[in-house]
């Protein structure tokens, strides 16, 4: 098996990264694509109480286990399967469950800080940044966190103002300069996805 194509999809919280990933996946048979969420690599916090976990800055690069993330991507590139960790957003901790990911032709890495680590950037063949304005992202985050993650509106707003927004401007948004393609998610991005599809096909045909 040839080296897989590594696609890194970054962007702010609730910017529309998953929508873009899903559109890319629709262009290729399922068995040819694997998606790895950077969120699943948040560090284990079993030694902390739930109150202590709520105070952690999850938008800072140091909250993620990038060493494990990097090692597992290398394993997939070399043709080995991995046991990917999983993360519980309600408990704010890794679960005891892992998911086996097998090597694939196309591996998509998705996360707000997926372009922050130089090692990950160097492994990526296509680097994408999905952009949306702060107000749009906040509205989407409120809807997601209150309906899917058991958060209160007050909790979501406090976290957004104290860590999410400042960390976005300090660490997430600056990674836009590393992107090959920047997608403004507020508008139709079919043209961008078509360009990405064409690039993937070109690499596969080589």
Contacts of residue 109, Cβ cutoff 8 Å, sequence gap at least 6: 6, 7, 8, 9, 36, 38, 73, 120, 124
How crowded is residue 82: how many other Cβ atoms within 10 Å of its Cβ?
20
**Cα-trace Rg, the chain:** 17
pLDDT at position 91 is: 92
pLDDT at position 113 is: 96
Tell me 42's DSSP state: B
Please provide residue 37's backbone torsions phi and psi, each rounded to the nearest 5 degrees.
-90, 125
The structure's pTM equals 0.89
pLDDT at position 29 is: 77
Q: How is residue 13 written in tokens?
A: 């919280």
SS3 track for 85-134: EEEECCCCEEEEEEEEECCCCEEEEECCCCCCCHHHHHHCCEEEEEECCH
pLDDT at position 16 is: 84
Residues of the chain with pLDDT under 70: 1, 185-188
pLDDT at position 42 is: 96
The model's pLDDT over 110-131, given as tens digits with 9 standing for 90+, comes to: 999 999 999 999 999 999 999 8
End-to-end CA distance of the chain: 13
Chain centroid to Cα 19, Å, comes to 12
pLDDT at position 132 is: 82
Q: Domains of the chain (ranges plus CATH)?
A: 5-205 (3.40.50.300)
The model's pLDDT over 37-50, given as tens digits with 9 standing for 90+, comes to: 999 999 999 999 99
pLDDT at position 187 is: 62
């Amino acid at each position: 098996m040839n080296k897989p194509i590594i696609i890194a999809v970054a962007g702010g919280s609730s910017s529309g990264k998953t929508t873009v990933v899903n559109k890319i996946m629709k262009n290729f048979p399922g068995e040819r694509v694997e998606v790895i969420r950077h969120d699943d690599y948040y560090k284990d916090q079993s030694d902390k109480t739930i109150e202590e976990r709520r105070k952690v800055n999850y938008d800072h690069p140091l909250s993620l286990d990038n060493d494990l993330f990097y090692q597992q991507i290398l394993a997939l590139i070399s043709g080995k399967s991995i046991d990917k960790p999983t993360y519980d957003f309600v408990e704010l901790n890794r679960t005891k469950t892992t998911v086996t990911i097998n090597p694939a032709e196309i591996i998509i890495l998705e996360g707000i800080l997926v372009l922050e680590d130089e090692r990950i950037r160097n492994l990526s063949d296509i680097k994408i940044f999905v952009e949306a304005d702060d107000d749009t992202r906040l509205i989407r985050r409120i809807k997601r966190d209150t309906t899917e993650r058991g958060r209160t509106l007050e909790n979501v707003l406090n976290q957004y103002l104290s860590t999410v927004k400042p960390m976005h401007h300090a660490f997430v948004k600056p990674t836009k300069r590393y992107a090959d393609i920047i997608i403004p998610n507020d508008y139709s991005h079919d043209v961008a996805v078509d360009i990405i599809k064409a690039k993937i096909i070109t690499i596969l045909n080589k």
